[in-house]
Chains A and B, each alone.
Chain A
Amino acid sequence: MGRISETFGRLQGEGRKALIPFITAGDPDPALTVPLLRTLVRAGSDVIELGVPFSDPMADGPTIQRASERALAKGVSLRQVLSLVATFRTEDRTTPIVLMGYANPIEAMGVEAFAAAAATAGVDGVLVVDYPPEESADFASALQRHAIDPIFLLAPTSSDARIAQVGALASGYIYYVSLKGVTGSATLDVAAVAARIPEIRARTGVPVGVGFGIRDAATAAAVARIADAVVVGSRLIEEIEQSTAAAACDNVLTLLTGIRQAIDAAAPAAGER
């Protein structure tokens, strides 16, 4: 069993929900990425999504695009992202790392070479935004040969048949996009999300994380009541963007600790679900 499944299994036993922060590797500087990863763990993160910068992040909003541009301006490549993960892994053997990005940098490296290098670096899951299930059967099996979970998105517009199609390939968890739009958009509709989660759980058999539009502790708490994991991305990037390099880790720690406490306060006791 991989680190992601172990983590969700442990949390379920404790009656807690996962906190999954997202930051972009190399933003604002590659030297800050490992310290930020450490900070995310200290704040109580269960899984970390690490964005791989790409020149054309079509599914992201302006906040994450700016983070990508800052990282690319520092020359951050997919290989460097993997070496940052490897550095983090020398001191943290338990926190799962999920890479999130776009297909082209991976294809430029070669799918098999990437899967092997990611496994060596200590990557636990990979979410490729522009690889829907119908285009990624080979990619998903390459990842699974290297014991890496292929993570997939589902959206409010996904049909039941597609939910099942994703369920057939996905492991680790499923990332449910809570609204129509791009990352960092308006706040989400908790009731609408709540209605979909049971259908997804029933058809896929893996935990469901919810993201896009979670900007504060109250929304995080509301999502924690209905989903297995809460993903916070653009709001964290904004915090990093508005901080000096010296203060970034402290500010992220404060913000994320507040969200962690709200999630724990909201999560129902074990077995209640």
Chain B
Amino acid sequence: MPVPDHDLPDASGHFGPYGGVFVAETLIAALDELREAYAAAQRDPHFLAEFEHDLQHYVGRPSPLYHARRWSERLGGAQIYLKREDLNHTGAHKINNCIGQALLARRMNKPRVIAETGAGQHGVATATVAARFGMECVVYMGAEDIRRQAANVYRMKLLGATVVPVDSGSRTLKDALNEAMRDWVTRVADTFYIIGTVAGPHPYPMMVRDFQSVIGRECIGQMQEQCGRQPDAVIACVGGGSNAMGIFHPYLPVAGVRLIGVEAAGEGIASGRHAASLTAGRPGVLHGNRTYLLQDENGQIIETHSVSAGLDYPGVGPEHAWLKDSGRAEYVGVTDAEALQAFHDLCRIEGIIPALESSHALAYASKLAPSLARDKILLVNLSGRGDKDMHTVADKSGIRF
């Protein structure tokens, strides 16, 4: 009998042909230790209660489910509901996972946490929980991203983190991830590596998904309460894919709910300047797992482009690769221009400034909604707020502060 989609990964960390543990021998023992510690924590009611407590009192969960009535009316079709992860402490879904991993780090007696970050959201969330738990925190960030995201760099420093610029490769997220892995392999005894997305070697894709699944679980209750039924489609943006996995996973066994992941099509798939690994990539091995990758014909990883730094990554979580192949989820692309339009629309029509990442999901919802009847429901994960994107958006509009 085939394994149901929602029971993956298997014991060795595979989602069909994807996932796995593709790391050097030097990291194997650390991953074994992490896998055992996480398995024990999952069975420990005290750990689960601590996680629950911090999500409620520190993050501010549950996050609201909001009917974007005016926007839905304007679009003239399906009703759009927004899962308001932008209202979490630190302004995005990233904190859910960071709380979970920091609690695990404390349980494993690791006083030092490290992280990689692109736009800086995961770095800020990690620095935040490190401050909250009294841990030393080092964040690796591409030198190019540090230049683009100066405000987030300062936020991390205010929170007591050390931000290390990464000058190798393309000087962006993937290079920061390489550097964080190197730190981890060197200081494995006292260091916990908090990966920010559902990628990396097993157990990270599963563990990050589990911590983020609170998003989808809340939605199932909130949809029932507000609408008396589940949505016709769930829509989320996909870079590495953690907010999407978090909202998709509880819906995997729910029949009749379409799952739609929205990738960054940048300047258009045909332009080659995009970050749509599932739409335009091929399976390969990077950062500890097998998944869809943007690569050249020789297997070198290519540089990506998106107006949204958080989606600017050449790979994607292996569970998304599996959901694409199995057909349980669909993956589409939205361009920079379409995402910016949705960004402005949500600002003006609903009074919500969304993150540029989340604006990709919003843009696809705004394309889909008019083609559907008014009694259909689209659930969009509004994964983060857009304050961090002020400079990018102003820049695109030709405005200088």
Chain A residues in the interface with B (C-beta under 8 A): 54-59, 61-62, 65-66, 69, 72, 77-79, 102-109, 129-132, 134-135, 152-155, 157-159, 162, 166, 177, 180-182, 185
Which residue of A58, A77, A132 is within 8 Å of B25 (Cβ)?
A132
Q: How many A-B residue pairs have CB under 8 A?
A: 123
The residue on B at minimum CB distance from A76 is B298
Which 4 pairs from chain A and chain B are nearest by CB? Answer: A108-B299, A157-B29, A105-B299, A59-B24
Stretch at the interface among B121-129, B213-221, B284-292: B284-292
* Complex CA distance for A253 and B136, rounded to whole angstroms: 45
A129 to B23, CA, bound (A): 7
Query: Does B326 have its Cβ within 8 Å of any Cβ on chain A?
Result: no
A-contacting residues, B66-84, CB 8 Å: none
Q: Are A79 and B26 in contact (CB under 8 A)?
A: no
Bound Cα distance A108, B299 (Å): 5
Q: Which of B12, B25, B188, B189 has the most CB of A within 10 A?
A: B25
Known contacts A130-B288, A157-B28; 6 additional CB pairs below 8 A are: A56-B178, A78-B299, A103-B285, A158-B28, A162-B28, A182-B186
C-beta contact mask, B168-199 vs A, less than 8 Å → 1, else 0?
Answer: 11000011001001100111110000000000
**Cβ of B285 to closest chain A Cβ, rounded Å:** 4
10 contacts between A and B (CB under 8 A): A56-B287, A58-B24, A58-B287, A62-B168, A104-B295, A108-B298, A132-B22, A153-B25, A157-B29, A181-B26
Asked if A159 and B29 make an inter-chain contact with CB atoms under 8 angstroms apart, the answer reads yes
Is B298 within 8 A of A182, CB to CB? no
The answer on a CB contact under 8 Å between B185 and A54 is no
Determine the chain A residues whose CB is within 8 A of the CB of B21 once the complex forms. Answer: 132, 134-135
> Contacts A77-B298, A180-B186 given: A135-B20 contact, CB under 8 Å?
yes
Q: Tell me if B22 and A54 are in contact (CB < 8 A).
A: no
Let me know if A153 and B26 touch, CB within 8 A: yes
* B-chain residues with CB within 8 Å of residue A58 when the two chains form the complex: 23-24, 178, 181-182, 287
Report the minimal beta-carbon distance from A78 to chain B, rounded to whole angstroms: 6
Q: Given known contacts A78-B299, A108-B295, A108-B299, is B25 in contact with A177 (CB within 8 Å)?
A: yes
Q: Judging by beta carbons under 8 Å apart, are A180 and B26 in contact?
A: yes
- Nearest-CB residue, chain B, relative to A101: B299
CA A58 – CA B179 in complex, angstroms?
Answer: 7
Bound CA–CA A132/B290 (angstroms):
13
Partner of B28 from the list A62, A103, A132 (CB cut-off 8 Å) is A132
Are B285 and A182 within 8 A (Cβ)? no
B30 within 8 A of A: yes
Inter-chain CA distance A135–B290, complex, in Å, is: 10
Verify B185–A55 contact, CB threshold 8 A.
no
B29–A155 CB distance below 8 A:
yes
Contact A182/B169 with A77-B298, A108-B297, A132-B23 known, Cβ cut-off 8 Å: no
Closest Cβ–Cβ distance, residue B375 to chain A (whole Å): 47
Which B residues touch A166, using CB under 8 A? 25
- Docked Cα-Cα span, A201 to B21, in Å, equals 26
Chain A, residue nearest B31 (CB): A132
Q: Which residues of B contact A132 (CB under 8 A)?
A: 21-25, 28
User: How far, in whole Å, are A181 and B187 apart by their CA atoms in the complex?
Assistant: 8
Q: B300 at interface (Cβ–Cβ under 8 A)?
A: yes
| Residue interface bits B282-322, CB-to-A below 8 A is 1, else 0 | 11111110000101011111100000000000000000000
The answer to whether B26 and A177 touch across the interface, beta carbons within 8 angstroms, is yes
By the criterion CB–CB under 8 Å, are B185 and A182 in contact? yes
- Residues of B contacting A102 in the complex (Cβ-Cβ under 8 angstroms): 285
Are A152 and B285 also in contact (CB < 8 A) when A69-B169, A181-B185 are? no
Other-chain residue from B23, B29, B300 in contact with A105 (beta carbon distance below 8 A): B300
Task: Please state if A78 and B298 are interface contacts (CB–CB under 8 Å).
Answer: yes
Report the minimal beta-carbon distance from A146 to chain B, rounded to whole angstroms. Answer: 20
The answer to whether B22 and A135 have CB atoms under 8 Å apart is yes
